[in-house]
């Protein structure tokens, strides 16, 4: 093996080992069995699987395999930047700067052209403009709501306090996977009809 | 929405909720920070990411996106069948039967043609014959070894007791991603030179 390719492989393996830490970044969503908080690595797997399974609900001409790549990479910056809770207004003020720094360090572990490739995937997801990014963002919003709805062994509830707050948060689903929107409106309707709102559990 | 498509979506959502349980299936590998056992969902994410990152080491003409799909689906049967430890000879006697039953129930939650599609992905991975399945199996063998090597805060070791046992276990890497084989032989060499073998930690 040449020195160049040995160095390349060393960098790739270093990134793989570092990526392992995404398994320790905890989210606010709990698993459906209620046993513990979900982490961002298993969340990313769940989203990638959903992207394949729900392909028929993606915008026309969406490249599903590309959406899967966006989802595999979309949370890696959280290894340094942490998961910013969607209702944490203060956290959102510093989120962009923290995540930019994280992207620089983490993707900087890779061989140069892969650094560019992976960073571009993350930026595309964040921009949310391509069909693939819109679809990926839709799933990212939908998944926690599905988990909340299916939690067993404990009461489920939505964490928002007003319909407007939930609808605003979930808008990317209507935008990126309109065929899945009825699931969202059903869950919101059920939450507000039965009073399952405003609690964190 | 028609009744047919509503039923279809209901089935897809039921499968997504059930898939969540893969996050509670524990493996024998520990995270690199040594804090806990890895689960099969986050393991699947890690493999799918590796498949994208290490594409240049796949057999010629490997469809990487297809390999990613194999990896996203390959462990789902463990929700019912559990993770069978690679050195558990008794467990291996019943593994195939347990996993067949699991595949029937779990993929059976899906709309019929998706049941066929997902089951075919799992069977292709298990057969390990296509270029994509060979590459996916190579990564599945390699990843725990990379984690073991990078474990911090505790001594690392290989669990096998003879070189032959490790080499046999790791053969799919040489077969499915020969460019990555030097990593394996380096780790084996280091383990046997320093006596880092035979322990579970």
pLDDT tens per residue, range B58-89: 999 999 999 999 999 999 999 999 988 877 88
Hey, is B8 helix, strand or coil? helix
- Show me where the domains of chain B are located: 3-194
Chain A residue with CA closest to B35: the answer is A24
pTM greater than the 0.80 cutoff: yes
pLDDT tens per residue, range A171-186: 999 999 999 999 999 9
> In which region does residue A100 sit, left (phi positive, over 0), alpha (psi from -120 to 50) or beta (all else)?
alpha
CATH architecture, domain defined by B3-194: Orthogonal Bundle (1.10)
The answer to whether the Cβ–Cβ distance between B24 and A45 falls below 8 Å is no
Distance from CA of A40 to the nearest CA of B (A): 9
Q: Residue B92: pLDDT band by 50, 70, 90 thresholds?
A: confident
The answer to whether the Cβ–Cβ distance between A146 and B33 falls below 8 Å is no
pLDDT above 80 (res A152): no
| Cβ proximity of B11 and B110 under 8 Å | yes
Tell me the ipTM for this assembly.
0.94
Q: Which of A53, A68, A149 sits opposite B68 (nearest CB)?
A: A68
Instruction: Show the tokens assigned to B149.
Output: 């090597």
pLDDT tens per residue, range A41-52: 999 999 999 999
**Chain A touched by B183 (CB under 8 Å):** yes
Cα B43 from Cα B30, distance rounded (Å):
11
User: Which residues from B are below 8 Å from A46, CB to CB?
Assistant: 16, 19-20, 23, 41
Q: Exposed (0-12), middle (13-18) or buried (19+): which is B87, by Cβ within 10 Å?
A: middle
- Mean pLDDT, chain B, as a whole number? 91
Q: What is the pLDDT of residue A201?
A: 45
Q: What is the pLDDT of residue A37?
A: 93
The answer to whether the Cβ–Cβ distance between B46 and A41 falls below 8 Å is yes
- Range with the poorest average pLDDT among A75-79, A168-172, B81-85, B155-159: B155-159
Cα A57 from Cα A179, distance rounded (Å):
5
Distance from CA of B27 to the nearest CA of A (A): 14
**Chain A touched by B39 (CB under 8 Å):** yes
Q: Which of A20, A35, A180 sits opposite B147 (nearest CB)?
A: A20
> For the residues B40-54, what does the mean pLDDT come to?
98
Q: What is the pLDDT of residue B1?
A: 64
Q: Residue A85: pLDDT band by 50, 70, 90 thresholds?
A: confident
pLDDT above 80 (res B135): yes
> For the residues B156-180, what does the mean pLDDT come to?
88
Radius of gyration for chain B, computed over Cα atoms and rounded to the nearest angstrom: 18
- Give phi and psi for A26, each to the nearest 5: -95, 145
**Chain B touched by A52 (CB under 8 Å):** yes
Return the number of other C-beta atoms located less than 10 Å from residue B162's C-beta: 11
- Give phi and psi for B158, each to the nearest 5: -90, 150
> For the residues B120-129, what does the mean pLDDT come to?
97
Cα B143 from Cα B99, distance rounded (Å):
22
Q: What is the pLDDT of residue A83?
A: 86
User: Which residues from A are below 8 Å from B112, CB to CB?
Assistant: none
pLDDT tens per residue, range A108-129: 999 999 999 999 999 999 999 9
Hey, is B58 helix, strand or coil? coil
Question: 3-class secondary structure for B141-194?
Answer: HHHHHHHHHHCCCCCCCECCCCHHHHHHHHHHHHHHCHHHHHHHHHHHHHHHHH
User: Which residues from A are below 8 Å from B46, CB to CB?
Assistant: 16, 19-20, 23, 41
Interface of A with B in 56-85 (CB under 8 A): 65, 68-69, 72-73
Cα A144 from Cα A43, distance rounded (Å):
9
**Chain B touched by A96 (CB under 8 Å):** no
Q: Which of A1, A12, A42 sits opposite B54 (nearest CB)?
A: A12
Chain A residue with CA closest to B111: the answer is A53
User: Which residues from A are below 8 Å from B74, CB to CB?
Assistant: none
| Cβ proximity of B127 and B166 under 8 Å | no
């Amino acid at each position: 093996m040449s020195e160049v390719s040995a160095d390349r492989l060393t960098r790739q393996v270093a990134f793989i080992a570092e990526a392992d830490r995404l398994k320790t970044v905890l989210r606010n969503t709990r698993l459906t069995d209620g046993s513990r908080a979900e982490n961002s690595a298993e969340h990313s797997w769940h989203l990638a699987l959903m992207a394949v399974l729900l392909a028929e609900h993606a915008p026309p001409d969406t490249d599903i395999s590309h959406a899967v790549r966006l989802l595999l990479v979309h949370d890696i910056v959280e290894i340094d930047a942490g998961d910013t809770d969607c209702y944490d207004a203060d956290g959102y003020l510093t989120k962009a700067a923290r995540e930019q720094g994280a992207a620089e360090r983490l993707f900087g572990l890779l061989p140069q052209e892969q650094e560019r490739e992976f960073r571009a995937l993350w930026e595309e997801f964040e921009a949310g403009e391509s069909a693939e990014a819109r679809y990926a963002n839709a799933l990212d919003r939908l998944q926690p709501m599905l988990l909340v709805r299916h939690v067993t062994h404990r009461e489920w509830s939505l964490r928002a306090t007003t319909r407007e707050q939930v609808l605003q948060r979930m808008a990317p689903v209507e935008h990126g996977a309109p065929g899945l929107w009825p699931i969202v409106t059903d869950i919101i309707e059920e939450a507000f009809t039965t009073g399952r709102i405003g609690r964190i559990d």
